[in-house]
Each structure stands twice: as C-alpha cells, then as structure tokens.
C-alpha cells in the first residue's frame, strides 16, 4: 500500500511520536495495527502505514480519527509464560505501566521482575510482544529481539 491518507496520516501530529525498532531484522519497522488505526494486535511494519503514539499517564495511546486506542498487555497466565502480547483496544490497559527511558519504550508491572524493561520480541506475522526474559537470551523460536524507540521526524522513513 502507498500508505493511508486517513487521519492522522503520514504527517506527525503534535504530541505524538512514531515508534520504531532499531535492530535487524526489524530495523526501522514501525509500530501500528493492521489495518491502520483499528483495534487489534500490535505489529511492526512499513513506515508507510506507521501509527502515531505517546505515553500518557502510564498508558500507551495511539491517535486515531475517532479518539485514542490503548495498548493492552496480555496478563501473564503463569510463571512459565515468557512473552506477553500487546493489543490495541478502546479500553484502557489495567496491567502494568508504560514509560519512556530516554527514547526507549518500556513496560513494567509490580508482580514481574524483568531483567530488561526495554526488551521486546517480534514473532509470528510481525506481532509485537513484551519479552519477560533478558534481551537476546533464550529467544523463543520464530521471534526476533528488538528494542523500540520514539522518533519525532515530521514524516516516518526507513
Ligand atoms: C501456562 O500458561 C500457558 C498459556 O495459557 C499455558 O499454555 C501453559 O500450559 C501454562 N503452564 C502451566 C505450567 O500451567
Ligand atoms: C536492554 O537491552 C538493550 C539492547 O541490548 C540494551 O541497550 C540496554 O542497555 C539493556 N538494558 C539493561 C538495563 O540491561
């Protein structure tokens, strides 16, 4: 696709950021949903369809024409679960807190001790997960280790 012309589109809106990975094989792949701006799983994909985000009061919010969507974290079912899915929804997240550390997006929750709060995984169909393990250690099959960062250029690019 050549990217959406729908709001907020390809010009960065005030108060929002692009969020992109910086490690191979997802270097400069951008946070979004598919289709764009619609509730559903968080993925990393082309700059042409990048979403616009910020962290507000511990919520990861995505700007859409109809208001904002919230990044909802899958609750850890038991201690053997090592990655947590992220889905955008009209409902606020009630599990843990998002924050920036420098330009890196982090997530934390009191009930889980994470070795690296900036550790993410990109797995099947480019779905984004919170990595509860260490960065680049015991990477689950089919996944790639990533850190994801805000980027505030007027337009996203690869
Ligand atoms: C932990 O939860 C996962 C996901 O729900 C499940 O597949 C797995 O069987 C559970 N493991 C244990 C030990 O309960
Ligand atoms: C988390 O992992 C990233 C990527 O390797 C690294 O840059 C960062 O320093 C790590 N943070 C901690 C607290 O280990």
pLDDT averaged over every residue in the chain: 96
Is residue 81 in contact with ligand 1, taking CB distance under 6 Å?
yes
Residue 1 is predicted with a pLDDT of 44
Q: Pick the ligand that lies closest to the CA of residue 80.
A: 1
pLDDT of residue 3 exceeding 70, the answer is no
The per-residue DSSP string of the chain comes to -----STTTTSPPTT-BEEEE-STTSTT-EEE-SSTTSSEE-EEE-GGG---EEEETTEEEEEETTEEEEEEEPPP-STT--EEEEEEESSPP-SSEEEEETTEEEEEBTTB--S-TT-EEE-GGGBEEEE-S-TTSSPPTT-EEE-EEEE--SS---
Residue of the nearest CA to atom 12 in ligand 2?
Answer: 116
User: If pLDDT is split at 50, 70 and 90, which confidence band does 4 have?
Assistant: low
CA of 118 to the centre of ligand 2 (A): 7
- Over residues 32-43, the pLDDT tens digits come to 999 999 999 999
pLDDT cut 90: percent of the chain above it: 96
- Over residues 124-142, the pLDDT tens digits come to 999 999 999 999 999 999 9
Q: Pick the ligand that lies closest to the CA of residue 84.
A: 1
pLDDT of residue 2 exceeding 60, the answer is no
pTM: 0.95
- Over residues 49-85, the pLDDT tens digits come to 999 999 999 999 999 999 999 999 999 999 999 999 9
Q: Report the atom number in ligand 1 closest to the C-alpha of 79.
A: 1
Is residue 38 in contact with ligand 1, taking CB distance under 6 Å?
no
CA of 22 to the centre of ligand 2 (A): 13
Best residue among 116, 120, 133 to mutate for probing ligand 2's pocket (most ligand atoms within 8 Å of CB) is 116
């Amino acid at each position: 696709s050549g990217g959406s012309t729908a709001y907020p589109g390809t010009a960065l809106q005030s108060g929002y950021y692009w969020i992109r990975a910086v490690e191979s094989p997802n270097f400069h792949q951008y946070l979004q949903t598919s289709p764009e701006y619609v509730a559903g799983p968080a993925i990393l994909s082309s700059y042409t369809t990048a979403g616009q985000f910020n962290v507000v009061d511990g919520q990861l919010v995505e700007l859409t024409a109809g208001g904002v969507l919230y990044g909802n974290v899958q609750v850890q079912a038991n201690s053997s679960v090592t990655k947590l899915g992220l889905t955008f929804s009209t409902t606020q997240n009630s599990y843990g807190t998002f924050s920036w550390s420098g330009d890196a997006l982090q997530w934390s929750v009191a009930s889980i001790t994470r070795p690296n709060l900036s550790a993410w995984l990109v797995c099947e169909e480019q779905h984004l997960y919170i990595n509860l393990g260490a960065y680049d250690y015991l990477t689950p099959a089919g996944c790639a280790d990533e850190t994801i960062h805000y980027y505030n250029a007027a337009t996203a690019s690869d």
